[in-house]
């Protein structure tokens, strides 16, 4: 496979998982579209994550993969902390900012992938566990996983 084609395929997979129409059902952006802040913070059970927390978690991991691709510094995510961020009160302005952050992190990640040297897709990530191509495929799969999780959460909390 030509390296340029591989970047294109990776971007296609990322876009289908996040916002482009695809055969498998809702993508991540579609799963959160139209939800109210109250919907987003309902928990299926005490101690379980809600939709707002899953949304911010997905934004965070887009940031992490982008940082690995670009060599960016840690600590530049818009929120303090890592991985999971508590969201408990229905705050419409916060929910809007969280969704905007998810979209913004997707755009930044997409830009980093577009600029990534195709010849380096086989290079190992900073922690040496995965190649850069595997990280990109993985973040697309992460979006789909959480899109499905959000679809289930919507049914459980209504």
Residue 50: which domain range? 3-157
- pLDDT tens digits, one per residue of 55-109: 999 999 999 999 999 998 888 899 999 999 999 999 999 999 999 999 999 999 9
| Nearest-angstrom CA–CA distance, 19 and 103 | 9
Confidence band of 150 (pLDDT split at 50, 70, 90):
very high
- What does 73-134 look like in DSSP terms, one character per residue? PTT-SSSSSSS-----S--HHHHHHHHHHHHHHHHHHHHHHHHS-GGGTTSBPTTSSSBHHH
What pLDDT is stored for residue 76 in this prediction? Answer: 87
DSSP letter, residue 72: P
Return the C-alpha torsion angle 151, 152, 154, 158, nearest 10. 150
pLDDT digits (tens, 9 = 90+) for 124-141: 987 788 999 999 999 999
Does residue 1 register a pLDDT over 60? no
Residue 3: pLDDT above 70? no
24-48 pLDDT, tens digit per residue, is: 889 999 999 999 999 999 999 999 9
Q: In total, how many domains does the chain have? A: 1
CATH of residue 94: 1.20.120.450
Distance of CA 114 to the CA centre of its chain: 17
Whether residue 51 is predicted with pLDDT greater than 90 in this model: the reply is: yes
């Amino acid at each position: 496979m030509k390296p340029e084609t591989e970047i294109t395929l990776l971007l296609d997979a990322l876009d289908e998982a996040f916002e482009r129409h695809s055969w498998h059902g809702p993508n991540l952006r579609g799963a959160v579209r139209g939800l109210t802040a109250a919907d987003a913070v309902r928990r299926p059970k005490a101690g379980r994550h809600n939709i707002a927390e899953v949304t911010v978690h997905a934004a965070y991991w887009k940031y992490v993969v982008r940082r690995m691709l670009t060599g960016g510094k840690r600590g530049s995510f818009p929120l303090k902390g890592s991985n999971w961020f508590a969201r408990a009160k229905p705050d419409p302005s916060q929910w809007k900012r969280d969704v905007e952050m998810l979209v913004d992190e997707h755009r930044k990640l997409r830009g980093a992938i577009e600029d990534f040297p195709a010849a380096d897709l086989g290079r190992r990530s900073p922690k040496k566990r995965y190649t850069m191509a595997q990280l990109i495929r993985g973040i697309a799969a992460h979006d789909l996983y959480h899109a499905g999780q959000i679809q289930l959460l919507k049914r459980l909390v209504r």
